[in-house]
A and B are shown apart, each in its own frame.
Chain A
C-alpha cells in the first residue's frame, strides 16, 4: 500500500535531481519514506536520494517497490503549478501509479523492477570536506564549460580551488576559507572530473543553498545536499578522470 500527498515542487525537484543520470528508476517505499539509488548507463555517476515521510503532507505506506519512467512522471508534473499539492496512490491490481493534481487524474503504467538491482556503493577515501554555496561553484563550472571538458578540484588547508584548461584559455576559481561555509582538509586533495557531469549535478541545487563536497586524491567526488526543509537528502557520486595522456 502506498498513498501520499506531496508539494509539487518537491516531486519536481526529485525529478530534476535524478533524471540527468537515469530515466527508469526503482523507488523503495517504506513506512519511513521513499528512497532510490541508481547509476547512469555509463557507470560514471550515482545518485542516492531519500525523502522522509515528514516531507509529505500525508504519508501512508507499507514496504513496496515502484518502478517508474521519470520522463513520463516529468510530463505529468508539467501539468502542476508550483503551489499545487499532488496526490499519489499505488494501484497494486493494475500496477499503476495514480496521480491526482486538483481535479485531474492521471494513471501511469509502472515498469517491472525485477531486473533492476541495487547498485553497490563504492569504497571511498575522501579526506576533505568542503561546504559551499551552490551558486559559487556553479559559476566556476559554467565558466569552464566553454573551454574544456574536464576540471580539476583541489582542496588545501586554507582554500578550495577549481581549475580548467583549454587549448589557449584557462579558468580559475579560488575560494579562500572565509568565503566557504566549511573547509576541513587535513591534507591536499586533488581530483579531475567531467565538466558535463559536474554541472548537471550542481544545477538542481538552487542558488545560495549549501552544498557539501567530499574530495579525495584521484577518487570519486561525493556531493551532498538537503531539500524540502531538510526532510529530504540527495547524494551524488562521480568517478574521476585520469590526468590526460
Chain B
C-alpha cells in the first residue's frame, strides 16, 4: 500500500464498523454484557464509567476474556471487540459507594462471572468507531447513558468476599484472588471499580491503570519468591509467534534480573512514521527498579508471566524477553497480548543451551534483526558479555 503498511488499519476498522453500525443505530440497546465495563481516564478525577455491551444476547463472556484468545487474529479481535458499545456515565472516582443505580450496576457487572442481560438507554445514538488504547483492549462506539438496568448477575464468590472485606488491603486482596486462581483479567476489572481495599481508600481506577497496577502487584509478589529459589543450571530459549509478533524468552542461570526489549518495524503501531526499526528496552537488576518502566505497561505484564513460570518450577533465573513486532501488527490490541504471548511462549518446549554464545545463535536464527543490534539495545546482554565477576580473579 502507498502508506507502506501491510494492510490498511482504517479499512479494517471501517469494515467492522459498517457491520456493527446498523445494529446500534438507536438510542436503546439490549444485549448481554460479557460482563465488561470501562473506566475512562480523561478528566480524572471525574471519569466516565459504564458497561460494555454488545447488541446481542447469550453467553458473550469470550469477548472479554483475553486469557482465551490464544488463537485469534487481529481481525477477529477488532471484529468481536467492536461489537462492544460503551455506555458513559461521569462520576467522581471517590463515588464508589454513591447511592446511584448506574454506579451500582456498573460495579455489579465488574464483579459478575456470567454474561448479564443489560438494557441501556442513551442520551444520543452511540457514536465513534473502534476505540484503541495502548494498555486496554479496544471497544466499539460509545454514548452517554440515560438509563441502565441489568438482570441478576452471579458473583464470583472469591471476588465477592474480597469486596465485602473492607479491612483487607487492595494489594492483599489482589494477591489472594490470584492465588485462588481468579483470572488476572477478572481481578483487573473488579480493581477498576474500587472493589478492593480498605473502605476509605476505595475509588474507581481507570481501566488502563488498573491493568498495569494488577500486573505489577502480582509480579512483585511472585518476584519475592523467585529471589529465594535456587538458580536454574542451563540456558533456555523459548520461541513463539503470534499476531505477526515474534517472541523469544531467554532464561539465564543467574540471579533474578529482567529486561523487555521491543523492536517495532516501520508502519507498526508504535512506529507509524519511521523509516527504520525502533527499539526500546526497560530492565531491572536484582534490586528492582523504582521508576515506572520506560516502555510502559507491557513491561509489567511480561514480568508477571515470567515470574509465574519461575514460581511453578520453584527456580530462580535471569530473564530477557525479546519482541519483534512485524508489519502485520497494524493495531494495538492491549497489554493482555504481551502477558498471554509470554505465557504461551513459556508453555512450549525450550531449546536448551550450554552457553550464552549458543543463546545468541538461537536469536540469530529466529529473529530478523541482527543479534548485534539486540545486544546493543540490551542492558543485561551487555552486562553478561562485558562485565567481569569478582570470582574470576
Which residues of A line the B interface, CB within 8 A? 23, 39-46, 119-120, 122-124, 149-150, 194, 219-220, 237, 239-242, 244-245
Contacts and interface: CB of A to CB of B under 8 A. Distances in A.
B388 interface: yes
A122 B391 contact: yes
Contact of A220 (B254, B256, B257, B390): B390
Given A42-B255, A42-B286, A242 B386 contact: yes
A220 B393 contact: yes
A194 B285 CA distance: 14
A39 B390 contact: yes
B393 to A, nearest CB: 4
B382 interface: yes
B390 A149 contact: no
Given A41-B286, A194-B383, A239-B393, 5 more contacts: A40-B286, A46-B390, A124-B393, A239-B387, A242-B388
Best-buried of B254, B375, B393 by chain A (most CB within 10 Å): B393
Interface string B366-393: 0000001001000100110111111111
26 contacts: A23-B287, A41-B256, A41-B285, A42-B257, A42-B285, A42-B286, A42-B383, A42-B387, A42-B389, A43-B389, A43-B391, A44-B387, A44-B389, A44-B390, A45-B390, A122-B392, A124-B393, A149-B379, A220-B390, A239-B387, A239-B388, A239-B392, A241-B387, A242-B386, A242-B388, A244-B386
A239 B386 contact: no
Interface residues of B, number: 21
B387 to A, nearest CB: 5
A242 B122 CA distance: 66
A151 to B, nearest CB: 13
Nearest to A193: B387
A185 to B, nearest CB: 20
Given A41-B255, A42-B255, A149-B382, A239 B390 contact: yes
B390 A122 contact: yes
Contacts of B287: 23, 41
A239 B389 CA distance: 6
B317 to A, nearest CB: 13
A91 to B, nearest CB: 26
Best-buried of B255, B385, B386, B387 by chain A (most CB within 10 Å): B387
Nearest to A150: B386
Best-buried of B285, B372, B375, B388 by chain A (most CB within 10 Å): B388
Contacts of A120: 391
Best-buried of A23, A40, A41 by chain B (most CB within 10 Å): A41
B364 to A, nearest CB: 15
Nearest to B393: A122
A241 B388 contact: yes
Contacts of B390: 39, 43-46, 119, 122, 220, 237, 239
B385 A242 contact: yes
A177 to B, nearest CB: 28
Contacts of B383: 42, 194
A46 B387 CA distance: 14
B286 to A, nearest CB: 4
Contacts of A45: 390
Nearest to B318: A42
B255 A240 contact: no
B393 A219 contact: yes
B318 to A, nearest CB: 9
Interface string B338-360: 00000000000000000000000
Contacts of B392: 122, 239
A123 B257 CA distance: 28
Contacts of A245: 372, 375, 385
Contacts of B255: 41-42
Contacts of B387: 42, 44, 194, 239, 241-242
Contacts of B254: 42
